[in-house]
């Protein structure tokens, strides 16, 4: 862009050295965290709704609701928490420019996520109540389902990072936003599950 500025205008010499198509610093991680705060508010709203339903019900879960089995969801919880540790190894690897390490750890995380989702589907198919059985059943399915949707998105994110990492030098020590974003999102999904597990299964 050519043209001159009237010399009476205040010009900062330092900023003037930037050309007009300069890139501003990368705020994508900041933006992602802000987004996850908003996303967390959806869950918070649903959690509080669940607690309100529970507080207002004369009996919770309503009479006749079959007991939830703890073994499978317990294992699932361990898998998901462990996967958060695994995905962190990928982050450490890419910071050392180790793309193979990134692929290994992301691959394992994706597998663990798929195991979690499989476990959840298995649990759904063996539960003795359906979506419409009673208020507890409805909240159970909607809350775990909405979380499961987030796990699915997380797995897809991880797989797309894996796909991109096949291109040489797509990720490196100084260029790993995708890796970091997928990791932060995965931790978020993990934290939500822990709260959900405590709410639905333990108390």
Partner 1 sequence: MTAELSIPTQGPAEDDIVHNPRRWQDYFTFSTDHKVIGIQYFVTGFIFYIIGGLLAEGIRTELATPDPDLVDPATYNSMFTMHGTIMIFLWIVPAGTGAFANYLLPLMIGARDMAFPKLNAVAFWIIPPTGLLLMASFFLGPAQAGWTSYPPLSLLTGKVGEGIWIMSLLLLGTSSILGGINFFTTILKMRIPSMSMMQMPLFCWAMLATSLLMLIATPVLTGALILLSFDLIAGTAFFNPAGGGEPVVYQHMFWFYSHPAVYIMVLPFFGVISEVIPVHCRKPIFGYGAIAYSSMVISFLGLIVWAHHMFTSGTPPWLRMFFMITTMVIAVPTGIKIFGWLATMWGGKINLNTPMLFAMGFISTFVIGGITGVMLAAVPFDIHVHDTYFVVAHLHYVLFGGSVFGIYTGIYHWFPKVTGRHINDTWGKIHFALTYIGFNVTFLPMHILGLQGMPRRVAMYAPEFQGLNQVCTYGSYVLAISTVPFLVNAIWCAYKGDKAGSNPWNALTLEWQTTSPPQIENFEVLPVLTTGPYDYGDTAEVEEPAKVFTTSG
Residues that bind partner 1 (CB under 8 A): 1-6, 8-12, 15-16, 18, 20-22, 24-25, 27-28, 30-31, 34-35, 37-46, 49, 52-53, 56-57, 62, 131-132, 134-135, 138-139, 142, 146
Q: Which is nearer to partner 1, 104 or 146 (CB)?
A: 146
Shortest Å distance, C-beta 94 to partner 1: 23
In terms of phi and psi (left: phi > 0; alpha: psi -120 to 50; beta: otherwise), the region of 3 is: left
Least distance CB 187 / partner 1 (angstroms): 19
Please, what is the minimum distance in Å from the beta carbon of residue 70 to partner 1? 25
Structure tokens at 120: 């959840």
How far is the C-alpha of 55 from the C-alpha of 58, rounded, in Å?
8
- Alpha carbons 200 and 80: distance in angstroms, whole number: 16
In the complex, minimum distance from the CB of residue 20 to partner 1, in angstroms, rounded to a whole number: 5
* Rounded Cα–Cα distance for residues 200 and 67 (Å): 11
Pull the structure tokens for residue 136.
């507890």
3-state secondary structure of 175: strand
* Nearest residue (CB) to partner 1, 33 versus 75: 33
Of 31 and 66, nearer to partner 1 (C-beta) is 31
């Amino acid at each position: 862009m050519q043209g001159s500025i009237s010399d009476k205008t205040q010009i900062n010499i330092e900023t003037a050295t930037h050309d007009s198509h300069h890139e501003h610093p990368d705020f994508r991680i900041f933006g992602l965290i802000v987004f996850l705060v908003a996303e967390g508010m959806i869950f918070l709203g649903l959690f509080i709704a669940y607690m309100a339903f529970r507080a207002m019900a004369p009996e919770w879960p309503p009479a006749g609701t079959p007991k939830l089995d703890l073994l499978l969801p317990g294992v699932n919880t361990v898998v998901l928490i462990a996967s958060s540790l695994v995905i962190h190894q990928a982050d450490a690897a890419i910071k050392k420019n180790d793309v193979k390490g990134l692929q290994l750890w992301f691959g394992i995380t994706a597998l663990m996520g798929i195991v979690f989702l499989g476990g959840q589907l298995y649990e759904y198919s063996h539960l003795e109540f359906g979506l419409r059985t009673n208020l507890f059943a409805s909240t159970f399915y909607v809350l775990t389902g909405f979380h499961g949707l987030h796990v699915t998105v997380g797995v897809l994110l991880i797989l797309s990072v894996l796909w991109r990492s096949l291109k040489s030098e797509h990720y490196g020590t100084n260029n790993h936003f995708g890796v970091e974003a997928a990791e932060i999102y995965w931790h978020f999904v993990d934290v939500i599950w822990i709260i959900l597990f405590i709410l639905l299964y333990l108390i």
